[in-house]
Amino acid sequence: MIEKIICRERARGEERFFYYGGFSGKHIALILDRTPSRVGIRFRAAELLGPRDWTCLRSALRQGIIKRGVIVHTGSRSFIAAQDILAFPIQRFLDCFELGTDPEASLYFLLNTMMRL
């Protein structure tokens, strides 16, 4: 998934990607850095999510590392996990992101779609 997202973003001319890991073992798998904002993406192989699943995203938001967070999970529903943190099922993420097709599609289309939930 990470490689496909990076390929998609590179097709759009974006070249800034990061991994974020803290001393506590919490991490954000991918940070897309698009001026003026950064989006952190975390992947969870879980049907049910709870507040502990987005602790690292909340921490990164508080520290100003990211502006928005996305949790991609194996469950079946989308929801707003916390302020500026969205949870998205993997299949819907792939459908909205249109990986491997139109280079104009982007994570920002996905985020704008989710904000209308």
CATH number, domain with residue 97: 3.40.1350
The distance between the two most distant Cα atoms of the chain, rounded to a whole number of Å, is: 38
Quote the number of domains for the chain.
1
pLDDT greater than 70 at residue 29 = yes
Contacts of 106 by beta carbon, 8 Å cutoff, 6+ apart = 8, 9, 12, 97
pLDDT in tens, 40-84: 999 998 878 888 888 889 988 999 989 889 999 998 888 889 888
pLDDT in tens, 81-116: 988 898 888 887 777 665 544 444 456 666 665 555
- Containing structural domain, residue 76: 2-114
